[in-house]
Amino acid sequence: DTEVTQTPKHLVMGMTNKKSLKCEQHMGHRAMYWYKQKAKKPPELMFVYSYEKLSINESVPSRFSPECPNSSLLNLHLHALQPEDSALYLCASSQVGEIGRRETQYFGPGTRLLVL
């Protein structure tokens, strides 16, 4: 199983709403990532979790709150977002431990978010 799943596929929310994005993988990967991708642009790293602990936070606004409840699951909680936060949110995972293998990331299909 080399699949990373993300739900929902699409999400429309108002600026006062609270919603969550979910990501799941069963490859035994212990590193998980959130990226934001605007149309026709490369992915921008937001957060990295390693062994369920937050390892990297790329100065993301606090209206985005990540959570890694277990080794297979990664959530992104959204609150009071702005229209400019509309984007494709990608989750990825990778191995941790063996250098030369950990750097390859496996991506989910993404959640397309529209903030009104």
Partner 1 sequence: AQSVAQPEDQVNVAEGNPLTVKCTYSVSGNPYLFWYVQYPNRGLQFLLKYITGDNLVKGSYGFEAEFNKSQTSFHLKKPSALVSDSALYFCAVTHRGGFKTIFGAGTRLFVKA
Q: Which residues in the 3-22 window bind partner 1 by CB under 8 A?
A: 4, 6
Preceding omega of 8 cis (within 30 degrees of 0): yes
Among 18, 26, 38, 41, binds partner 1 (CB under 8 A): 41
- C-alpha pair distances (Å), 21 with each of 10, 35, 99, 111, 115: 10, 12, 30, 7, 14
Among 16, 40, 53, 62, binds partner 1 (CB under 8 A): 40
Q: Which residues in the 60-89 window bind partner 1 by CB under 8 A?
A: none
110 binds partner 1 (CB under 8 A): yes
Amino acid at 115: V
39 binds partner 1 (CB under 8 A): no
CB atoms within 10 A of CB 53: 8
3-state secondary structure of 25: strand
Q: Which residues bind partner 1 (CB under 8 A)?
A: 4, 6, 31, 33, 40-43, 45, 48, 50, 55-56, 90, 92, 94, 99-100, 102-110, 112
